[in-house]
Amino acid sequence: MLERLNQAMDHIEARLDQPIDVADLARTAVTSEYHFRRLFSALAGMPLSEYIRRRRLTVAGAEVIAGERTLLEVAVRYGYSSGEAFARAFRGMHGVGPGEARRGGATLRSQPRMSFRLIVEGSSSMRYKVVEKEAFRVVGRKARVPLVHEGMNPDIAAFIRGIGRETLQRIESMSDQEPQGIISVSDNLDESRAEGTELDYYHGVVTGAAVPDDMDALTVPAGSWAVFESAGPFPQTLQYMWRDVFTQWFPSNPYQSRPGPEILRTRLSDDGTRADAELWIPVERTAAV
């Protein structure tokens, strides 16, 4: 897997001055486009589109300083439709405009070329199972919230507080299948998974019961799910579990993620500082190569 990911990185580097088709990168890595974007984001710590943008502006910065092409030629070479658009992007990364950089003395920023290598850790094993589940429905309350990578998500916390104890009890009483009890469901995320982009958040249960008039519902198709268990400090354990699934479990197992919601069942300690968690990720087996 890592060798194929590095071949995809070579593909990016050879085409920084050309359009880059993510489908081509996914084919090089022998995986789906959906999984490639998610795996890259987890491994690199930034969305694929952001990495490509930074690499292009890094090599563009070197060409600006070299002075062999006009600023407009450099802009067009790296995919900008106008000098103004290029200047905005250039200043956003380097802190100075391309004209100022060309005049000399400016300090520019660089996005190094990335490659992936194996680091053997193995300090703990991951507890997981793969289950087949028929189509099901999530019923509860829904909100559109920004994505937060680390720490508590204040928008989600405020949304849950606003639901009310009585409504939460009614929701929980409808739970009649796995995963049992109140769950958190993230769906319809931006493909970049950049912090601050929005997602649909459901606070509800998996149920076959009829949907009450004051509730929202999400229908989920049948498919395979990888179910991971973890326990530790809250909320770090939950966020680290998602990271470890993509940086450790997927590269070591014959599965890839598929489109669908992510489901998290959390049981907090009485003081709210620790959590037992169960994370459901939609998966499919990878094709034999």
pLDDT tens-place string over residues 4-40: 889 999 999 999 999 999 999 999 998 899 889 988 8
pLDDT recorded at residue 205: 98
Which pLDDT tens digit goes with each residue over 204-213? 999 999 999 9
Average pLDDT in the chain: 89
HSE-up of 150 (CA within 13 Å, CB side)? 1
Residues 6+ apart with CB under 8 A from 7: 28, 29
Please give the span between the terminal C-alpha atoms of the chain, in angstroms, as a whole number.
11
The CATH number corresponding to 127-285 among 3.30.420.40, 3.20.80.10, 3.10.580.10, 2.40.128.50 equals 3.20.80.10
Q: For residue 262, is pLDDT > 50?
A: yes
The answer to whether the beta carbons of residues 75 and 86 sit under 8 Å apart is: yes
Which pLDDT score, from 0 to 100, does residue 126 have?
A: 59
pTM reported for the whole predicted model: 0.72
The full set of domain ranges for the chain reads: 2-103, 127-285
Model confidence at 178, in pLDDT bands (50, 70, 90)?
very high
Show the tokens assigned to 253: 């197992």
Greater confidence (107 vs 85) lies with 85
Q: Is the pLDDT of residue 119 over 60?
A: no
Out of 1.20.140.10, 1.10.10.60, 1.10.10.10, 1.10.357.10, which CATH number does the structure's domain 2-103 have? 1.10.10.60
Q: Between 195 and 94, name the one with better pLDDT.
A: 94
User: What is the token pair recorded at 278?
Assistant: 């169960």
More confident residue, 288 or 77: 77
pLDDT for 43: 81
Asked if 47 and 54 count as a contact pair (C-beta separation under 8 A), the reply is no
User: Residue 38's Cα: distance from chain center in Å?
Assistant: 5
Q: How far apart are CA 283 and CA 281, in angstroms?
A: 6
Q: Which residues pair with 274 in a beta bridge?
A: 233
